[in-house]
Amino acid sequence: MSDVASLSITPEPIVRLENYFQQPYNLSIATARTCYSSQVISASDVDRDEKARAQRDRIAESIYRAGHHTTIQHPTFQFVLERVSRQFIWSFLHSHPFYNSEQVSQRFVEVKPGNVTVPPLGEEARAVYLETVRLQMGAYHRLIELVEPAVTAEYRRLFPSRDPSEKRWAGSIHKRCQEVARYALPVATHAHLYHTVSGITLHRYWRLCEELDAPLEQRLVVQKMVEEVRRVDPQFMELAGEPIPLERTLEYQAFEMLHRPLSNGTAARNGAGQAGRAFLDEFDQELGGLASKLVDYKVQGQATMAQAVRSVLGLPKDGLSDSQAIGLVLNPASNPYLSDTLTLTTVSKLTRAMVHPHFTFKKKLSHTADSQDQRHRMVPASRPVLASHFTADRPDYLVPALIAATPAARDCYDELMRVTWEAIRRLLELDTPMEFALYLLPNAFPIRFEESGDLLHFHHKWVQRLCYTAQEEIWNTCREEVLQVAERFPDIGRYLGAPCTLRSQAKVAPYCPEGDRFCGVPVWKLDVEDYRRLI
């Protein structure tokens, strides 16, 4: 990677430390000393005098070097980030479990022209880049117009008592249009968000901020985060060292060895090349037409869960059958936690028996859908180095059902994808670094990966995302996953469904918890295999 001081992106990202724990450095050492004290040590105790401060600094270095890092997990920092790309958020901020974010949604907030990250480019490459962004933004607004008749017709079918021409329903229709139109937007599109992390996560960010896929933007943003923290406590980041250079990261070295596109200009123009094309074909063939395929699971997961329930209650096998044990936990009629919106299942002793069944799925989602899917942080995945999935010689993208059902929209969409790939190829021919060229990839670009988790956390995800108001791609993968799990584990599968289904079984009214966001379909009357939707 080039010296970060000599490169920048425009417009420059904005980072502001909004809230933080007071005296984070002192607090982290106070927590360490408390472990070996007959009383609680306060942050002021470790900063009381010169002797206390010398002891504080010795302890800080000793435990940091030894890897005892839970002490720096206590201080927490809340940042406001603006003018950061969706690519950076997907690849870095949301690719791990230890954070919390609330960000602007492209589903519900219309994107304005010009709100994109522009990497450092030569004059000709910059012209190609900006013209492509202009076309992508234009296609986005054109697609909103093209799908509106189909959305309006479907909305009228779902809500026959509503007049779609009335102003009060116009917002709902427009949001459904922009939800699918956003697939045309580049991953360079800006977002703004609150992002909250603990001190240990900030240290990890700093050490690995120069990893693929967007090392320049990552370094710039994380450096600003670190500078904000140093402004309020100069000592907190002292022991973190310097970021690992991109060339020394595991992913970069593996990519160089097996693909060689990042440092070799000729190969870079082809993306992942022949090996990448073979991988894409193999992966898609193994999916067998599904968006999410169950490829591994604990064979005895259902029986093990049942035994765990008996163990919690101290019952022998003849005191509670497997089916009864599973029903006690998963049947909303017997388990009130399942119809509670606070998600109490991780705290309840009995529902924690759901951690024993485990599933792995092979999945293919668009970049924009996966950006929501990855927010289910307790169902982790091995997401790709994006350059390893890019092939310059053929456009690779997913088509939303609504666009596929609207011929004029499909024509506009397909043409945009052709133009976008042509522009990326041109950027690579101009020796643009792959990192910068891939900012033009559309939200529709497929993310292929494996995802694993236990029933406890898949259950939460499946229930929430089977709601008809959920993003359509994630809704579809959850439907496919539930049907495959139910086929193998019927005692578990019979209790899986949308939120309204669980509330109906628990007799909690109203069945739909979404209020005026009701989808218009009494889903609680349907089996999962009968779920169908267009918008």
Q: What is the CATH number of the domain that holds 8?
A: 3.30.1360.170
Strand ranges inside 189-338, DSSP E: 190-198, 292-297
At 264 the pLDDT is 52
> In sequence order, which ranges of 260-366 are alpha helices (DSSP H)?
265-268, 273-287, 301-313, 322-330
Q: Are 120 and 436 in contact (CB under 8 A)?
A: yes
Tokens of 255: 């990519």
Q: Are 117 and 218 in contact (CB under 8 A)?
A: no
Q: Are 249 and 209 in contact (CB under 8 A)?
A: no
Q: Are 380 and 455 in contact (CB under 8 A)?
A: no
Tokens of 348: 């309840």
Sign of CA dihedral 202, 208, 210, 215: negative
At 165 the pLDDT is 83
At 260 the pLDDT is 67
In angstroms, what CA-CA distances link 200 with 93, 98, 173, 455? 14, 9, 43, 28
Q: Are 458 and 489 in contact (CB under 8 A)?
A: no
Count other Cβ atoms within 10 Å, centred on residue 372: 20
DSSP 162: S
Interacting residues of 53 by C-beta distance below 8 A, sequence separation 6+: 46, 47
Question: Which helix (DSSP H) or strand (DSSP E) does residue 360 occupy?
Answer: strand 358-366
CA 46 to chain centre: 39
**CA count, 13 A, side-chain hemisphere, 209:** 22
Three-state DSSP at 320 gives coil
Dist CA 486 CA 500 (whole Å): 19
Q: Are 449 and 381 in contact (CB under 8 A)?
A: yes
Does 461 fall in a domain? no
At 209 the pLDDT is 97
Does 348 fall in a domain? no
One-letter amino acid of 200: I
Q: Are 394 and 466 in contact (CB under 8 A)?
A: no
DSSP 295: E
Into how many domains does the chain fold? 1
Omega of the bond prior to 490 within 30 degrees of 0, cis?
no
Sign of CA dihedral 8, 13, 14, 15: negative
From the list 238, 232, 286, 315, the residue with the least C-alpha distance to 56 is 238
Dist CA 364 CA 254 (whole Å): 23
Does 488 fall in a domain? no
Dist CA 11 CA 218 (whole Å): 14
Dist CA 493 CA 500 (whole Å): 16
In angstroms, what CA-CA distances link 138 with 134, 141, 404, 443? 6, 5, 19, 15
Does 231 fall in a domain? yes
Q: Which residues of the chain register pLDDT less than 70?
A: 1-6, 260-272
Question: Which helix (DSSP H) or strand (DSSP E) does residue 56 occupy?
Answer: helix 50-66
Domain that holds residue 210: 4-105+189-246
From the list 197, 76, 73, 190, the residue with the least C-alpha distance to 133 is 190
Three-state DSSP at 190 gives strand
One-letter amino acid of 101: S
Dist CA 306 CA 296 (whole Å): 20
- Please spell the DSSP secondary structure of 431-486, one letter per residue: T--HHHHGGG-BTT-EEEEEEEEEHHHHHHHHHHHTSTTS-HHHHHHHHHHHHHHH
Does 83 fall in a domain? yes
Does 342 fall in a domain? no
Question: Which helix (DSSP H) or strand (DSSP E) does residue 103 occupy?
Answer: strand 100-103
Tokens of 367: 């970049």
At 441 the pLDDT is 98
At 262 the pLDDT is 55
Tokens of 466: 């089977």
Is this model's pTM higher than 0.85 or not? yes
Does 171 fall in a domain? no
Dist CA 347 CA 343 (whole Å): 9
Does 79 fall in a domain? yes
At 183 the pLDDT is 98
